[in-house]
C-alpha cells in the first residue's frame, strides 16, 4: 500500500485489504487469494452484506474533493449497479485530470472506467457474485453483469488520484502505430496480444454474457449466398476491387499497382473519389488511360459507406474485394480469396490475415502477422474486427442493403456488415497474408475521434444483439447454461464498504 494512501478519509468505512496491503494493521484482512480478484470481491460482499463496495488500488495517492458526497448522491438517486468517475494522474509536474466518458453501452473489456469504482453489494449477492474460476477476467465479468440501460453511472466528477503511469518513448512509439482507442497496453488492439489463459477467460466471460442476453448463436451457417447477383444477370468478371478515396494522391498509385500485380487477370478496379481537393483524380485517370480495367467514379459526397455502395452497385464481378486507398494487395491476393470463396459455397465473406507497414511500405515486424485467430460469430462482438482483406459475395452486400450510410457512414460500416453476414452465412478465414495495412500520420484512424470510433462500434454491436435475440426467438431457442467469468485485478488492493448507500430492488436489464 502506498505511503500516501488516504486512510484518514475512510474512517467511517470498513476497509478490507489483501495482498501486501494486508499489512495495514487496521484493515480487515481477506482470506481469499489476492491474485483471484473475483474471490476477493465475493468475500467482501459476504462479510459486508449491504451498501456500496468501493474498489481502491493499492497505489492510490488520494481521493478527490467531495468524492464521497458525489458517490452517495449518485447511489441514492440512481437504480444503478456500478458507479465510476473521472480521475487524476499525479507526478512531480503536477496533476493531470483524466476524463472517463459516460457509459456508451460498451461490450468490450477495453473501455476505461477509471482506477477506482463502486458496486452495490446487494446486487452483487443477488447475481451470485463473480465467477472465481475465470479470475483473469473478473473485472470484465463485473462490467458485463452490470451492463444494461442506465445501470452503470458516472458520479459526475473525479473519484481518485493515482500516480501517473511511467512508460518509455519506445513503448509510446509502438502504441502510436496502432491508432486504436481502448484500455490496455496496446489500446483497442490489446486483445490481439493477450496470453492464452487471459484470452480464454475473457472469451468465456463474454460467451456467458451473450447466453444471458439470448444473443448466442449456435452451429454452422448452412445457407448459400444468392447466385447470380440479386440485381440480375451473370457476373462479367470474377472479382471487382472497390476503393473509396479522398486526398490520397501520394498513396493511390501504390494501391493501383498492387492490384495490377495480381497473378490473375480477371478483375476490375473501381475507385470512387469522394471529392478530393488534391490531384488524386488526375493520378487515377493516368492509370485508367493505360489500363481499361481501372474505372474512376467521381462522387462529391465524402462519406465512406456512400462511396463503397456506389462502387458495389457499379461492379460487374461476382466477388467484391475491399482495398483502402493507402493500403496494398499482394500478387496472390485476388486469386487466393476467389479460390476460397469458390470452394466454400456457404461463405458469404472471406477474410485473410494482414501485416502492418509504415508510410514507406516497410513492414512493422514488432506486431507480426495480424491473424484475428480467435474470430468466430460470437467472439466478433467484443473484437474490433475480423481482419483484412475482406472479400464478399457481391450479392450478400446487396442483400443486406449495402453499407450503412446513416449513423455508421464514416466509421464502422464494414464491421456492421461483417456482423450481419455472420448471422446468416459463414465468414471464412483465409490463413495467409493477403493484405498490407499502412500506418501513417494522416491515416483516417488518427483523424477520427476515439469517442466516435467506440460509439459507432458499440452501436453496431447493440444492433447485432437485437438481431440475434430476434433470430433466437424465431428459432425457439432454449435457455443456455451459464458459465461465469472474470478479470485479473491488482494483487494488492483494498475494498471499502460503506453501508449508508441505499439499494434499489433488483431489476432486470
Which of 254, 81, 72 lies closest to 152, judged by CA?
A: 81
Which of 434, 415, 427 lies closest to 355, judged by CA?
A: 434
For residue 365, give Cα distances in angstroms to 37, 138, 143, 356, 357. 35, 32, 34, 8, 8
pLDDT of amino acid 367: 81
pLDDT above 60 (res 1): no
Taking each helix axis from N to C end, the angle separating 138-145 and 196-212, rounded to the nearest 10 degrees, works out to 10
Compute the radius of gyration of the chain from its Cα atoms. Answer: 25
pLDDT of amino acid 257: 98
- Phi and psi (nearest 5°) for 357? -135, 160
pLDDT of amino acid 28: 86
Q: Which alpha helices (H) appear in 294-443, and where do they start and end?
A: 304-314, 333-343, 394-399, 413-424
pLDDT of amino acid 235: 77
Angle at 41 (CA atoms; ends 164, 504), nearest 5 degrees = 105
**β-strand pairing of 62-63 with 82-91:** unpaired
Which of 16, 109, 1, 114 lies closest to 60, judged by CA?
A: 1
Q: What is the pTM of this model?
A: 0.86
pLDDT of amino acid 8: 75
Q: Per-residue pLDDT averaged across 481-494, rounded?
A: 38
CB atoms within 10 A of CB 97: 11
Q: Per-residue pLDDT averaged across 373-386, rounded?
A: 88
Least confident of 77-86, 189-198, 477-486: 477-486
Which of 82, 57, 72 lies closest to 5, judged by CA?
A: 57
Least confident of 154-168, 360-374, 477-491: 477-491
Q: Which three cell numbers stand for residue 172?
A: 509510446
Strand partners, 89: 96, 162
| CB 195, CB 137: distance < 8 Å | no
| CB 484, CB 208: distance < 8 Å | yes
The 10s digit of each residue's pLDDT in 287-332 is 999 999 999 999 988 899 999 999 999 999 999 999 999 999 999 9
pLDDT of amino acid 446: 58
d(CA 369, CA 180): 17
What are the structural domains, with CATH classification, of the chain? 7-168 (3.90.550.10), 237-471 (3.90.550.10)
Q: Which three cell numbers stand for residue 421?
A: 453476414
pLDDT of amino acid 166: 78
Least confident of 7-21, 232-246, 486-500: 486-500
| CB 436, CB 330: distance < 8 Å | yes
Mean pLDDT of the chain: 86
Residue whose grid cell is 485479473:
488
Q: Which alpha helices (H) appear in 102-195, and where do they start and end?
A: 121-126, 138-145, 169-176
Q: Which three cell numbers stand for residue 293?
A: 480495367
Amino acid at each position: 500500500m502506498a505511503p500516501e494512501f488516504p486512510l484518514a478519509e475512510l474512517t467511517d468505512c470498513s476497509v478490507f485489504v489483501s495482498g501486501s496491503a494486508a499489512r495495514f494493521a487496521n484493515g480487515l484482512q481477506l482470506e481469499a487469494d489476492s491474485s483471484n480478484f473475483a474471490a476477493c470481491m465475493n468475500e467482501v460482499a459476504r462479510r459486508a452484506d449491504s451498501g456500496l463496495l468501493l474498489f481502491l488500488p493499492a497505489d492510490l495517492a488520494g481521493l478527490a474533493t467531495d468524492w464521497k458526497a458525489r458517490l452517495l448522491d449518485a447511489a441514492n438517486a440512481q437504480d444503478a449497479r456500478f458507479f465510476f468517475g473521472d480521475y487524476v494522474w499525479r507526478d512531480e509536474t503536477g496533476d493531470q485530470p483524466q476524463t472517463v466518458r459516460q457509459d456508451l453501452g460498451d461490450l468490450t473489456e477495453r473501455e476505461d472506467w477509471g482506477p477506482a469504482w463502486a458496486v452495490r453489494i446487494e446486487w452483487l449477492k443477488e447475481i451470485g457474485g463473480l465467477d472465481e474460476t475465470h479470475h483473469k477476467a473478473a473485472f470484465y465479468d463485473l462490467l458485463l453483469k452490470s451492463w444494461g440501460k442506465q445501470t452503470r453511472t458516472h458520479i459526475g466528477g473525479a473519484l481518485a488520484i493515482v500516480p501517473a503511469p511511467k512508460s518509455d518513448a519506445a513503448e509510446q512509439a509502438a502504441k502510436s502505430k496502432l491508432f486504436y482507442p481502448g484500455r490496455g497496453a496496446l489500446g483497442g488492439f490489446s486483445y490481439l496480444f493477450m496470453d492464452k489463459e487471459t484470452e480464454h477467460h475473457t472469451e468465456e466471460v463474454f460467451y456467458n454474457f451473450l447466453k444471458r442476453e439470448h444473443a448466442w448463436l449456435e452451429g454452422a451457417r448452412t445457407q448459400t449466398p444468392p447466385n447470380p447477383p440479386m440485381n440480375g444477370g451473370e457476373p462479367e468478371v470474377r472479382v471487382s476491387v472497390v476503393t473509396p478515396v479522398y486526398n490520397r494522391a501520394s498513396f493511390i498509385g501504390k494501391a493501383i499497382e498492387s492490384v495490377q500485380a495480381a497473378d490473375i487477370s480477371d478483375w476490375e478496379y473501381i475507385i470512387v473519389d469522394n471529392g478530393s481537393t488534391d490531384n488524386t483524380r488526375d493520378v487515377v485517370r493516368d492509370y485508367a488511360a493505360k489500363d481499361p480495367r481501372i474505372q474512376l467514379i467521381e462522387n462529391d459526397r465524402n462519406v465512406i459507406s456512400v462511396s463503397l455502395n456506389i462502387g458495389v452497385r457499379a461492379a460487374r464481378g461476382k466477388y467484391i474485394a475491399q482495398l483502402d486507398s493507402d493500403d496494398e494487395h499482394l500478387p496472390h491476393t485476388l486469386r487466393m480469396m476467389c479460390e476460397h470463396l469458390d470452394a466454400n459455397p456457404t461463405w458469404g465473406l472471406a477474410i485473410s490475415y494482414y501485416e502492418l507497414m509504415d508510410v514507406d511500405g516497410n513492414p512493422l515486424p514488432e506486431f507480426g502477422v495480424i491473424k484475428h485467430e480467435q474470430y468466430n460469430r460470437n467472439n466478433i462482438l467484443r473484437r474490433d474486427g475480423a481482419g483484412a482483406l475482406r472479400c464478399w459475395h457481391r450479392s450478400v452486400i446487396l442483400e443486406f442493403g449495402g453499407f450503412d450510410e446513416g449513423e455508421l457512414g464514416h466509421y464502422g460500416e464494414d464491421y456492421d456488415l461483417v456482423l450481419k453476414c455472420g448471422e446468416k452465412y459463414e465468414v471464412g478465414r483465409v490463413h495467409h497474408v493477403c493484405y498490407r495495412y499502412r500506418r501513417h500520420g494522416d491515416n483516417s484512424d488518427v483523424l477520427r475521434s476515439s469517442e466516435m470510433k467506440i460509439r459507432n462500434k458499440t452501436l453496431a454491436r447493440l444492433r447485432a444483439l437485437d438481431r440475434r435475440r430476434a433470430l433466437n426467438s424465431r428459432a425457439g431457442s432454449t435457455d443456455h447454461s451459464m458459465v461465469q467469468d472474470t478479470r485479473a485485478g491488482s494483487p494488492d488492493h483494498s475494498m471499502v464498504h460503506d453501508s449508508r448507500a441505499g439499494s434499489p430492488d433488483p431489476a432486470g436489464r
